[in-house]
Amino acid sequence: MTLETLQKKKILVTGGAGFIGSHLCERLLADGADVLCVDNFFTGQKTNVAHLLGNPNFEIQRHDVTFPLYVEVDEIYNLACPASPVHYQHDPVQTTKTSVHGAINMLGLAKRVGAKIFQASTSEVYGDPNVHPQPEEYWGNVNPIGFRSCYDEGKRCAETLFFDYHRQHGTKIKVARIFNTYGPNMHPNDGRVVSNFIVQALMGTDITIYGDGQQTRSFCFVSDLVEGFVRLMGTGDEVTGPINLGNPGEFTMIELAQAVIRLTGSRSQLVHKPLPSDDPRQRKPDIAKAQSILGWEPRVQLEQGLTATIAYFDKVLSNSGIARR
């Protein structure tokens, strides 16, 4: 056995206490890595990673990526940024700064230490798409001055920075475009459709449908997404992305609400409210590249994933003293 094989890979995960980040930290530790979780806890929750604190290969640090970070690591997963409309619209200027300044700081770190760096981009770079499903070659249809622009354009600019660092400095980059993801560790008040529907159903309140409910989304369970992350990071330097990661199964909001009501046994009724500004009518990934390059495709079916997510939220509500109705 060589000295190299004895050394654990040191991996930084920004936004590591968030919904997806916490699952990624858990997976990387299981794979034998030494993980540094960095989070400013604006949307990340300590409870998401509390069970990892006893692991000698896990370390957590409170830090905001809009400021430089000086650590020695082999790989960086840059997930830091609020991802739900409720949270990213709370302080839109800070949201843009997190995407742009955060990318600059993490790319600067990667350049300094020679680390490979992964950017958690988003399907929001496609905006309200005129092409369906959305392939990576599609440039998108994004409103640059709308209420969602702080997130959409911030992520688009971050992708620009990643590819410019790659071309100008030879930085080893991986860019994934994440489509709607759900699962345990989601924030109960994040305003995303899966968490909204489940919490409303468990509490027996009306389930809010925006617009006519015929707009579609594709829902990927978090364990499938993390598998895609790890596979993309494990590819050779010639693979940069962007690569779509999401579930191509397409469901209307009405269909999702009906599934949640059935699986929770809720008596909640559906109520309709006006569609928010710039809300996309369709969202579905073309995952041909993920299939051919990564050998990846989602395996968890919606009903299976919803069942696990419902159990998580049921426990969260019970621990908060909120009884199911």
Fill in the amino acid letter for 295: G
pLDDT value at 3 more than 50: no
Torsion (CA) 130, 131, 137, 143 in degrees, nearest 10:
20
Domains of the chain are: 9-319 (3.40.50.720)
Q: How many angstroms separate the CA atoms of 19 and 28, rounded?
A: 15
Q: How many angstroms separate the CA atoms of 122 and 134, rounded?
A: 12
Question: What tokens does 225 get?
Answer: 């997404």
What is the mean pLDDT of the segment spanning 77-83?
91
Q: How many angstroms separate the CA atoms of 153 and 175, rounded?
A: 16
Lowest mean pLDDT among 76-90, 137-151, 173-187: 76-90
Question: Residues 136-163: pLDDT tens digits?
Answer: 999 999 999 989 999 899 999 999 999 9
pTM, rounded to two decimals: 0.92
Which of these is catalytic: 88, 126, 151, 165? 151
The predicted pLDDT at position 226 comes to 98
What is the mean pLDDT of the segment spanning 55-65?
97
Average pLDDT score over the chain:
92
Task: Count Cβ atoms within 10 A of the Cβ of residue 27 and give its class: 0-12 exposed, 13-18 middle, 19 or more buried.
Answer: middle
Where do runs of H (alpha helix) occur along the chain? 3-6, 19-30, 85-88, 92-113, 149-169, 193-203, 222-233, 253-264, 288-289, 302-319
Question: Active site includes 138?
Answer: no
Q: How many angstroms separate the CA atoms of 222 and 138, rounded?
A: 25
**What percent of the chain is modeled with pLDDT above 90?**
78
Q: How many angstroms separate the CA atoms of 15 and 41, rounded?
A: 8
C-alpha dist (Å) from residue 192 to 71, 142, 189 = 33, 20, 8
Contact yes or no for 254/211 (Cβ under 8 A)? no
What is the mean pLDDT of the segment spanning 49-77?
97
Residues 6+ apart with CB under 8 A from 38: 12, 13, 14, 15, 16, 60, 61, 62, 63, 65, 69, 80
Q: How many angstroms separate the CA atoms of 269 and 58, rounded?
A: 44
pLDDT value at 24 more than 60: yes
pLDDT band at 282 (very low <50, low <70, confident <90, very high): confident
Residue with token string 């709607």:
180
Q: How many angstroms separate the CA atoms of 232 and 235, rounded?
A: 5
